[in-house]
Amino acid sequence: MLDSVPALGIPEYTLLTALAVVAVVVLELVWLRTGIFSTLQYWLTMVLVFGFQILVDGWLTKLRDPIVIYNERQLIGLRVPWDIPVEDFGFGFAMVTLAIALWRHRLDRPRAAHRHPELGQQQPEPRAADHSDPEGVTPTA
């Protein structure tokens, strides 16, 4: 594996993280359009995710006694807080945001399926099948 992309001189993990962040943001804003970036719920979720990421990743990557050891040539070298490579936050953002956006998109699909394509207006939800007796007579036990 290359340590950096020769033409750009950017460490590989840094470049891949930046590409992942940009790809997920573009995917959400251009194609999925779930609106998660405009919700307080999403941003509170990210605060919670990053809070636990700092605790766990900080413990795993602490330089004085690391459990996970990175090839420093594949990072830009910026570590915040507790020796966490800044790339890990970008990777975490991309991974969690993609999962939330895909989940939200999937949950919104059934509602979108009832839109009238020509008018772009919401149509009534289909009614459940009525399995009652057409004669209006219901058998009794």
pLDDT in tens, 43-80: 999 999 999 999 999 999 888 898 988 888 888 888 88
Token reading at 96: 């969690």
* Distance separating alpha carbons of residues 73 and 87, to the nearest angstrom: 13
Contact predicate 71/3, CB 8 Å: yes
Tokens, residue 63: 């330089």
What distance lies between CA 86 and its chain's CA centroid? 18
Could you tell me which residues come within 8 angstroms of residue 72 by beta carbon, excluding any fewer than 6 positions away? none
> What does the DSSP 8-state code read for residue 4?
E
Q: What's the CA gap between 22 and 33, in Å, rounded?
A: 15
**Distances from the Cα of 94 to the Cαs of 19, 43, 139, in angstroms?**
9, 13, 58
pLDDT of residue 103: 96
The residue ranking higher by pLDDT, 127 or 29, is 29
Give the integer Cα–Cα distance in Å for 139 and 133: 9
Q: Is the model's pLDDT at 125 over the cut of 80?
A: no
pLDDT at 3: 58
